[in-house]
A and B are shown apart, each in its own frame.
Chain A
Amino acid sequence: MVVAGMDLGAKAIKVVILSEKGVSAKVKLFPDLDMAQSARKALEEALVQSGTELHELKRIVATGTGRSAAPGKPALVTEPLADAKGIIALLPLTRTVIDVGAEEGRGVKITPQGEVVDFAVNEKCAAGSGAFMESMARSLELKIEDFGEISLKATQAVPMNAQCTVFAESEVVSLIHANTPKSDISRAVHDATASRIAAMTRRVGIEKEVALIGGVAYNPGFVEALKRTLSLETLLIPDHPDFIGALGAALIAYEQAVN
């Protein structure tokens, strides 16, 4: 039996094809303005990659902010549940999962069965999201891929005083003018973002183990910053952290198809 899980995020569409043999394909695609068409394309690519025909798909479950644009009349689930199901399958000791995407950050408290106990989402504020870090990297004329690495070379903790994105940008500029090393500024941005995410996650209570997922988990600077602010020695990070929502959706699809 083959099923698909789709995660239609603000910046990227992720698709996972799952059968009893495990994951047979995973595709990430950056959508154009037509979300529905991009989603269809992503699914088609994934089907090709896994050597599956569309009619063989028993079920599709979609999650993510754009989930209603997913093809094939899928069942819809919200991100916290998809995150919970996905992470518990890979890292079963997880009790708190932190998902930082392009537009939103989420903290989810979960059971050993991958059920959502409690969740918190950052409210209408860019300062705790991937998009914020990208914009700050641009201000520093750094590639987002290098941004995190460079922050690890910081020699001092410079506080970011601005509490909102607009002011943060001008603060970064003032720091550059003050000849603050890019590494230190970079760390300041990572600390500020991690602090936002930590504050939000504290709403649900931090219960170990804590896992970090979403595209931001690839950024070693953010990982270190989050560990620091949460006083955690270890932060679980799965392989392909940006695919956990899609994987969770696929697992739910499989469960539903079996029943």
Chain B
Amino acid sequence: MNKKLQYSVIHYGLCALFFFFIYILQSTPGFLEFWSFKPLLLAACTVSMAVFEQEYAGALFGAFAGALCDLSANTYFGFNAIMFMLCGLAVGLLCEYLTQRNLRNCMWFTAAFLVLVCTINYFFQLGIYKYPNAEFYWLKKTVGTTLPTLVLTPPVYWMFGYLHRRFEQYKEL
């Protein structure tokens, strides 16, 4: 195994561990829970990963993050994995061809993705059944998930930025 490949394996292995660690934190009952709302930190992780590591790694790690979410979410296995994968791909391509890599854009992407995830979840779980007051529930859920996630996005962004810088220099050797 050459040096470049070795560092890539270590880098992406650490990223995978970080995703797993974030999933455990995110799903721990009572931890980071605000009035029964929980942040979706894996969304921030997927977006940050795609911002720094581009579309391919963004999409694959997005699929991994989504599969982790599917373990405890009230959705069929694969639903979140597909959405997170497409998010990672889209953000990676946007950062590559259209926008700059910075925290502000990362937060915009995270917010847009969360609104999209909550809306699609709402549509398939409640919207199509036309339960009364379901729109109000969607609004509460979307705001309650998006705001705490955005507050916690900067440290996640910083962590992925740090890993990217740390390993980029070795990969260029």
Q: Do A and B come from one complex?
A: no
- The interface of chain A, by Cβ under 8 A from chain B, is none
Residues in B lying within 8 Å of A, measured CB to CB: none
